[in-house]
Amino acid sequence: MHYITAGESHGPVLTTIVSGVPAGLKVSEAQINTDLERRQCGYGRGGRQAIEADKVKILSGMRFGKSLGSPIALQITNKDGENWCHVMAAMGAPPADLVREVTPRPGHADLVGALKYGTDDCRNVLERASARETAARVAAAGIAREFLADLGVEVFSYVVRIGEVELVEDQPMLAAPDYKPLDIETSEVRCPDSGTSEAMKAAIDEAHEAGESLGGVFRVVATGLLPGLGSYAAPAERLNARLGGALFSIPAVKGVEFGIGFDAAMRAGSDVHDPIAINKKAGFVRIGNNAGGLEGGMTTGMPLIATVAMKPIPTLAHPLPTVNMDTLETEEASTERSDTCAVPACAVVAESEVAFVLAQAYLEKFGRDTMVDIKAAIRAYKQRVRTMSR
């Protein structure tokens, strides 16, 4: 299962095509729209979210609510595109009053993208480098999430830190899978602790008043996974490599840890690795989950836990110095309508990337054609694994 997206931040639509979807999968536009809404929400979001009300339209690959086995095309309309139709026209000559973007923002793709593609207008870069593109990813991942849910796998996220405000967790690798979705989604910053949520909101307010932006840290958790997804046999097949690459593909993500991550480098081996035991019902189990559900590039059957760091949004109310690409003089960087904090939204996008990688791993292990065959293969695998532990 793979996706490709197309569209600019202020273009008319965002489009995505998902290929490799098995036949017979139930897909709900309403469920995808719920995830799109979650991506738009979050304390500290900017004015663009007041304009857009993202809704998906499924154009192909489905019949009567079930997948056909052919590529699925999805589309999201950019309401703000109506206000940019002349500036972002796909065809024709540029308008006479066009103002080029020539003061690239530090921390964004503006300058490097302009150098790479040889353009004297940073808008050619920033429109596609914008995090607005992630709306199409979330829509596409709605297909992967439906697939995983049908197999008993749930993917969710929660915010651990915004700026200097951090959720205190005694044993995060054990606590993470037990957080309640209601506690997460009713928080404006998607943090399961109400006191920490209020402190995070106060930090965002303070940053907004100062014309600053804030980054943070969140966790993505996947439960219900079978052991043995991924592979140790080749570097590109290792699931941690694929998950890491997917998470780093998200704009503003600067760090990824699995399990206790960097903390493992400061402990002795006996305090890092999870002992193996036998459970009469479950078979082989781990005592603890410092590994975050991954060993040797494969799932262990324990919850998958990834901790992800997001940098602050690069567009600032008080812009940093830059160089005008026309005059080569020092000026203030350009400004775009932006957020003070988008960590809760980034966490939803990260869920989507994790869901796609996990869906691919299931299809590789259990077949690709139909949901009926995939479920039969999973039943046979579970039986074999149980037999090996007896």
The torsion angles phi and psi of 374, rounded to 5 degrees, stand at: -65, -45
What is the Cα–Cα distance from 165 to 217, expressed in whole angstroms? 10
C-alpha of 88 from chain center: 27
Tens of pLDDT along the chain (390 residues)? 999 999 999 999 999 999 999 999 999 999 999 999 999 888 887 665 666 689 999 999 999 999 999 999 999 999 888 888 889 989 999 998 999 999 999 999 999 999 999 999 999 999 999 989 999 999 999 999 999 999 999 999 999 999 999 999 999 999 999 999 999 999 999 999 999 999 999 999 999 999 999 999 999 999 999 999 999 999 999 999 999 999 999 999 999 999 999 999 999 999 999 999 998 888 899 999 999 999 999 999 999 999 999 999 998 888 999 999 999 999 999 887 678 999 999 999 999 999 999 999 999 999 999 999 999 999 999 999 888 876
The candidate with the shortest Cα–Cα distance to 251, out of 195, 311, 205, is 311
In this prediction, residue 50 carries a pLDDT of 61
Q: With beta carbons less than 8 A apart as the criterion, state whether 294 and 239 touch.
A: yes
In this prediction, residue 49 carries a pLDDT of 60
* H-helix or E-strand spanning residue 330: strand 330-332
Most distant CA pair in the chain, distance: 77
In this prediction, residue 326 carries a pLDDT of 96
First to last CA, the chain: 35
Q: Which residues contact 245 (CB under 8 A, 6 or more apart)?
A: none
What is the Cα–Cα distance from 162 to 341, expressed in whole angstroms? 8
Q: With beta carbons less than 8 A apart as the criterion, state whether 122 and 110 touch.
A: yes
The candidate with the shortest Cα–Cα distance to 356, out of 242, 262, 255, is 242
